[in-house]
Amino acid sequence: MKTIVVQWDCRFGDPEFNFGRAMELMDREPADIYVLPELCLSGYNFKDKQEVDYLSEESHGAYAHRFMDLARSRNCFLAYGFAEKASAGIYNSANLIGPDGLIGTYRKIHLFNRETLFFLPGDRPFRVYETPVGKLGLMVCFDWFFPESARTLALQGAELILHPSNLVLSWCPDAMRYHALWNGVYTATSNRIGREDRGGHVFEYIGRSIIYSPQGELLAEAPLEQEGICSAELDLSLAREKDLNEYNDRIQSRQPEFYSDISVT
């Protein structure tokens, strides 16, 4: 099963350009699954809530339907990040779309930096979606910083974690190796490149979209500062094999009764 992560310099406030650029890059190579960056339609560095509201859309919005057309025509699956307009407010979300339409929407739980000014924290638990290509989990960007994110998806049976991102911290691409290894899952992180300097706030994005195997092997990696795609052939059956040796299993060898869950006050 071919998986592609897509990386480009998302243009702030220009969803039509960003959608078109995503399509151009995806046209380079057919795949079963495509992963696009976080907030890839709107851009990331908002000045105020008015911009967020203007650049948001509902989970079944116009661009979602255009991505559905793509998935239907190519018989593929697609994860992308967007600003989701909902009755309670606006979420930093990711849609998972397949040939039959919208499969699910994940709302980012762990908000980073100034996101906390503009978005509501996710109000839904992590969830794994059973699809014809495998068991797919979603997390968004800064969720990587919390080991519980990938572990929760792995405990639910995820075989591949799709990870739309706008990374500015340099550690994430390397850290994803260990999320893959510890949990015995594939991970596919799609990042962006470029620089956004708006309202006195500067974000520089690090590229390095990356795919890892359940053994922590680097399968594909994009450059630091170059638009493009990178792809890997995945055998998701390998993500069902959690054995490390004849005595140890990544999941069954856990000892949760000894792991404390102490609330920090």
pLDDT digits (tens, 9 = 90+) for 28-59: 999 999 999 999 999 999 999 999 999 999 99
178-216 pLDDT tens trace: 999 999 999 999 999 999 999 999 999 999 999 999 999
pLDDT, mean of residues 229-241: 98
Query: Of all residues in the chain, what percent carry a pLDDT higher than 70?
Result: 98
pLDDT at 264 over 70: no
In a domain, 28, yes or no: yes
Instruction: Quote the mean pLDDT of the chain.
Output: 97
Residue 225 bears catalytic tag:
no
In a domain, 26, yes or no: yes
In a domain, 264, yes or no: no
Quote the number of domains for the chain: 1
pLDDT at 265 over 70: no
Residue 141 bears catalytic tag:
yes
Residue 47 bears catalytic tag:
no
Give pLDDT, residue 260: 78
In a domain, 263, yes or no: no
Taking the C-alpha atoms of residue 188 and residue 194, their distance in angstroms, rounded to an integer, is 20
Give pLDDT, residue 262: 65
Taking the C-alpha atoms of residue 52 and residue 19, their distance in angstroms, rounded to an integer, is 17
Of the candidates 10, 76, 141, 230, the residue annotated as catalytic is 141
Of the candidates 38, 51, 84, 196, the residue annotated as catalytic is 38
pLDDT, mean of residues 167-172: 96
Range of the domain at 198: 2-258
Of the candidates 10, 108, 115, 172, the residue annotated as catalytic is 108
Question: The domain that contains 36 carries what CATH number?
Answer: 3.60.110.10
105-133 pLDDT tens trace: 999 999 999 999 999 999 999 999 999 99
